Amino acid sequence: MIEDQASSLRKMNQSRLIKVIAVTGGKGGVGKTNITLNTAIAMAKQGKRVMVLDADLGLANVDVMLGLRVEKNLSHVLSGECTLDEVLVTGPHGIKIAPATSGTQSMTELSPTQHAGLIRAFSELRSQVDVLIVDTAAGISDMVLSFARASQDILVVVCDEPTSLTDAYALIKILNRDYGVFRFKIVANMVRDVREGQELFSKLSKVTGRFLDVALELVATVPFDENIRRAVRKQSAIVDAFPASPAAVAISQLATKAAGWPIPAQPGGHLEFFVEQLVAGKVAGN
């Protein structure tokens, strides 16, 4: 009997092991939502069960981009009106999308009811998920920082514009200084070719190397590709609509790579840990 309980507990824990990736960038319009969505769909095509958490209430919402009908969002989950499973909408290849909550309230300043609602929402989640990808808003709000620091891997999307580099630097600096984050995965987006992506990465790592103690890794260079816009106009994703186009190939490679990133040993690899981190404050001593 005790043996049974122990094994079902073990099974439950194993089933809740999850990879959590946040997609950030600091600057608006650098391609965060497109990278999120296409990485999610590419991972789903590779057999992963993927959930996208839309933490951005911008105009180009994940659901809007795919032409999906959304009735309830995360704010209804936070208020306890419905469960997380009830707000999930299903996108291409079975990806689950948790639609954005309204407002820009900080995750660290939730009311006690919302706090309990969030914890309950994730602990009651019945949908089986291997990978959770969080699309964050532009800027460096508390909301963005909370989602980033709670995730295991942080993708920082940059493009070759001075403001993109300065905003990415500012984001990395705050996450490092105030939240103790050390590793960042860089995606060079809208570049001409791999070389330009590497140059962009060098520019960013030169400044971080001078002023911060962080480790940056270039994980993808996604070329500028008109098919991204063409796919969006068709309310589709480039990895589906134009899978052989250069950006789709680059993002599919990123998805394959991301699937191999290790999930931390307990407790960091658990969904509960993500939620705990989400609502926790800055690291002590900072």
- Select 122 or 201, whichever has its Cβ closest to ligand ATP: 201
- Select 125 or 132, whichever has its Cβ closest to ligand ATP: 132
CB of 82 to ligand ATP, least distance (A): 26
CB of 139 to ligand ATP, least distance (A): 8
SS3 sequence of 154-207: EEEEECCCHHHHHHHHHHHHHHHHHHCCCEEEEEEEEECCHHHHHHHHHHHHHH
Give the 3-state secondary structure of residue 99.
coil
Distance CA 136, CA 23 (A): 6
- Select 139 or 269, whichever has its Cβ closest to Mg ion: 139
User: Which residues lie across from 220 on neighbouring strands?
Assistant: 187
CB of 261 to ligand ATP, least distance (A): 22
Q: Write out the residues near Mg ion by the rule CB under 5 A.
A: 32-33, 56, 58
31 binds, among Mg ion, ligand ATP, none (CB under 5 to 8 A by kind): ligand ATP
30 binds, among ligand ATP, Mg ion, none (CB under 5 to 8 A by kind): ligand ATP
List, as own/partner pairs, every contact residues 259-265 make where C-beta atoms lie below 8 angstroms and the sequence separation is at least 24, other chains included: 259/19, 259/43, 259/46, 259/48, 259/131, 261/19, 261/21, 261/152, 261/153, 263/17, 263/18, 263/19, 263/152, 264/152
261 binds, among ligand ATP, Mg ion, none (CB under 5 to 8 A by kind): none
- Select 134 or 222, whichever has its Cβ closest to ligand ATP: 222
List the structure tokens of 124.
């009651």
Q: Write out the residues near ligand ATP by the rule CB under 6 A.
A: 25, 28-34, 56, 58, 60, 138, 189-190, 222, 224-225, 228-229, 232, 247
- Select 224 or 261, whichever has its Cβ closest to ligand ATP: 224
CB of 228 to ligand ATP, least distance (A): 4
